Amino acid sequence: MKLRMRQIGLALGLLVAMGSAAHAVPALQLYIEGATYDTDSESWVVSSTDFRLWVIGDVGHTGTIENVQLTAAFLTSEIGTGTISLTQTTSSLVTDPSISSAPSLVAGVGGDGTLPVMSDGHTLPSHGIYGTGTSFQQWALGDFALTDSPIGDFSNNFPTTFPDQGQINVYRVVMTGYTMVHFDAFNHVEGANHALKAPFSHDATASPVPEPGSLMLLGAGLLGSTLVWRKRRN
């Protein structure tokens, strides 16, 4: 009898695991057009200062995701020389008929060493990015409630299957003066009392390649970025 109950328990556990594996699409994800997925940092990485950033919400499976926030983390030492602008656009890589609302810059956040605060009051884990020497900007993107775009799992490669329908907000990002900018997205599902975040395996980083004449000037910043990558990997 005990053996049979153990077998039933194992079978149920296997079914649960299979069900979880069958739906691997996160509620929130980030993707950069033309980026390469870096398996060490588990991030979409692009060496450009002008690119399209996608914020992806699996609304069809999860439900409305309220008050989605986007953060961009950078070296505190580069404040005053660096700028980041976001303007809404669309993409031709996937069906995306809607143009997102304009992002609203959140004022008074992102001092050195601080972490973004999610909707449930918890801070976003540092995941090797936030901490002393790092600051951030934050934008409010509004609610994600549309199901007008096909959603797949943007991890390792651009997806080949799109099992769900959701909302894709595409932004043209133009940045200057930063050695590295790391993006995260988060907030919560309507009616839920817990926060959602894009998994740290589904975030994005812009790490522009400096001109040869600027290598010495940016040496300290690049060293700081390298330490961040190593800490993130560990």
Number of domains in the chain: 1
Residue at 119 is within a domain: yes
Residue at 110 is within a domain: yes
Residue at 34 is within a domain: yes
Q: What percent of the chain has pLDDT over 90?
A: 62
Residue at 112 is within a domain: yes
Residue at 22 is within a domain: no
pLDDT of res. 3: 41
Token readout for 11 is 């079978």
Residue at 18 is within a domain: no
Q: Look at the pTM and tell me if it is higher than 0.85.
A: no
Domain that holds residue 139: 27-233
Residue at 20 is within a domain: no
Q: What Cα–Cα distance (Å) separates residue 175 from each residue in 58, 96, 114, 159?
A: 28, 24, 22, 27
How far apart are alpha carbons 61 and 82 in whole angstroms?
38
Q: What percent of the chain has pLDDT over 70?
A: 77
pLDDT of res. 201: 94
Residue at 10 is within a domain: no
If you ran DSSP here, which 8-state letter would residue 208 be given? P
